[in-house]
């Protein structure tokens, strides 16, 4: 799975299947801090993800 984190401009390759909220927990990101985009679609944290999905995490926190 390819995960792009907008705030830090990081891209992570990771094996994962399960709920989006569990993925966030694994990579140390709060649900409250991000919007989850799965294959270009906005989804909620209980969305089931699999290894072939491309995930983008948009940062909720604005620029100060």
Partner 1 sequence: MNCEQCDQRAISTKPSLCKDHFDSFILKTAQETIDQFGLFTKNDRICVAVSGGKDSLALLDVLTRLGYAVEGLFINEGITNYREFSLKDLDDFIKRSGIKVRTVSFEQEAGFGLDTVMKTKQFHACTVCGTLRRYLLNKYAQDYDVIATGHNMDDEAQTVLMNLARGNSSLFLRTGPKTTENEASIKRRFVPRVKPFYFVSEKHLLTYTVIHRIKTDFGECPYAPDSYRMHLTEILNRYEEEHPGTKKHILETYLALREPQQHVISIEKEEFDHLSAGDVEIPSGKAEELIEEIASVLKNQ
Nearer of residues 15 and 61 to partner 1, judged by Cβ: 61
Using CA atoms, how far apart are residues 51 and 1, in angstroms rounded to an integer? 5
Residue among 8, 9, 7, 60 nearest 35 (CA): 60
For 61, which DSSP code?
Answer: S
Pick from 13, 28, 32, 52: which binds partner 1 (CB under 8 A)? 32
Return the residues of window 43-62 that contact partner 1 according to CB under 8 A: 43-47, 58-62
* Interacting residue ranges for partner 1, rule: CB under 8 A: 6-7, 30-33, 35, 37, 42-47, 58-64
């Amino acid at each position: 799975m390819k995960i792009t984190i907008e705030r830090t401009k990081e891209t992570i390759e990771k094996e994962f299947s399960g709920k989006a909220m569990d993925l966030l927990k694994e990579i140390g990101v709060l649900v409250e801090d991000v919007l989850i985009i799965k294959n270009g679609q906005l989804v909620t944290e209980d969305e089931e993800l699999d290894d072939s999905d491309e995930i983008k995490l948009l940062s909720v926190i604005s620029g100060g």
